[in-house]
């Protein structure tokens, strides 16, 4: 991430209360503050340099702050909202939450492209050498992969089939290849559709050598990147792949969101589990065992779906935007902390 904390030390431009200090005190306090805040010296080192006790140094630094001799400013890039990020992390018990300013011209659009750019920076922080990175299908993960410019050496595996096998070169498969190219690691793509017409066809595909090899890596994944969809046309790839009759059936079960072909009601409980038997996707239980699961999703139209998936406990970190974050901060009762990852439906 490109955030930074900057500390401004003003030697003689103190406020009115600071002027009660004599000029020698002001000069010494400014010098000590500069050593501590800007040069990174310890209080013991400063005490030795000025011939005073470390307790004296601590008092001087405290006084410098109280009397406005030292001003500390915390600054992050304009597109990041640090206050909303911290509040969202605390509300849902997430490990990381990063909230990006919603583009004015795209407030109604799901998953603005800038979310992918920020998620790419976040993965650069989270992935360590030797990790196994899993990527699920989704527009946001594809944007993220395109924005990647740094990753430690790691293996990259595809976690789901694709929306349309005919677009694999421009979708999930290419995202996996791109991430592997940046990291210099091995790629394990899945050349198969996400949703199959029946259970038997899905089972037959899972047994094929290339797909089975990718599935073998699922238990080794240490960081996963997923997308979230609302249960409506154009915002959920699974919704768009089903027939009208199937959509109506799952709607009666109260489906409010989907992630990697898993369906959730508004409380984060999984519904329509039979759908997973027809899908090429990482199982929910395996997702729950992955140490870090980063969801990328934003926009007002996805806000309720994001809330539902966060309540499931499957996601540990979130990259979203201010449009979704404002909804999430007031959505229903306080959710269970995400890092308590027990299945809300029980064993």
Please give the mean pLDDT across all residues of the chain.
Answer: 85
The average pLDDT across 199-207 equals 93
pLDDT tens-digit map of 106-123 = 555 566 778 888 999 999
| Better pLDDT: 67 or 323 | 323
Distance, in Å, from the CA atom of 197 to the CA atom of 278, rounded to the nearest integer, reads: 7
Alpha helical stretches, state H, 110-264: 113-126, 139-147, 172-183, 199-206, 209-216, 237-241, 244-252
Confidence of residue 30 (pLDDT cuts 50, 70, 90): confident
Q: Are 135 and 190 in contact (CB under 8 A)?
A: no
User: 213: how many CB neighbours lie within 10 A of its CB?
Assistant: 12
Least confident of 12-16, 178-182, 205-209, 298-302: 12-16
Kindly report whether the global pTM for this prediction surpasses the value 0.85. no
The pLDDT of residue 217 is 95
Q: Say if residue 77's pLDDT is above 80.
A: no
Tokens found for residue 18? 């600071």
Q: Are 120 and 209 in contact (CB under 8 A)?
A: no
The secondary structure element, H or E, covering residue 323 is: helix 322-328
């Amino acid at each position: 991430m490109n955030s930074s904390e900057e500390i401004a030390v003003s030697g003689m431009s103190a406020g009115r209360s600071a002027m009660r200090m004599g000029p020698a005190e002001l000069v010494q306090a400014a010098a000590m503050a500069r050593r501590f805040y800007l040069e990174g010296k310890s209080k013991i080192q400063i005490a030795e340099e000025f011939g005073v006790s470390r307790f004296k140094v601590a008092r001087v630094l405290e006084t410098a702050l109280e009397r406005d001799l030292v001003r500390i400013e915390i600054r992050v890039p304009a597109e990041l909202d640090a206050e909303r990020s911290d509040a969202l992390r605390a509300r849902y018990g997430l490990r990381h939450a990063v909230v990006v300013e919603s583009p004015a011209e795209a407030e109604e659009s799901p998953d603005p492209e800038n979310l992918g750019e920020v998620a790419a920076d976040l993965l650069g922080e989270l992935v360590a050498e030797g990790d196994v990175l899993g990527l699920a299908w989704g527009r946001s993960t594809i944007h993220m992969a395109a924005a990647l410019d740094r990753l430690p050496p790691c293996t990259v595996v595809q976690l789901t089939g694709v929306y349309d096998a005919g677009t694999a070169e421009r979708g999930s498969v290419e995202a996996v290849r791109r991430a592997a190219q940046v990291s210099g690691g091995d790629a394990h793509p899945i050349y198969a559709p996400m949703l199959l017409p029946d259970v038997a066809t899905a089972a037959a595909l899972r047994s094929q050598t290339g797909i089975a090899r990718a599935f073998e890596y699922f238990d080794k994944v240490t960081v996963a990147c997923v997308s979230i969809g609302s249960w409506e046309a154009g915002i959920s790839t699974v919704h768009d792949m089903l027939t009208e009759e199937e959509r109506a059936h799952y709607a009666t079960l109260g489906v409010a969101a989907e992630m990697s072909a898993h369906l959730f009601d508004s409380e984060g409980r999984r519904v329509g589990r039979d759908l997973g038997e027809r899908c090429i996707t990482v199982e929910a239980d395996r997702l729950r065992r992955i140490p870090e699961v980063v969801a990328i999703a934003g926009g007002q139209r996805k806000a309720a779906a994001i809330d539902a998936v966060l309540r499931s406990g499957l996601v540990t970190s979130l990259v979203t935007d201010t449009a979704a974050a404002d909804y999430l901060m007031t959505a229903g009762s306080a959710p269970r902390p995400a890092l308590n990852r027990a299945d809300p439906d029980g064993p």
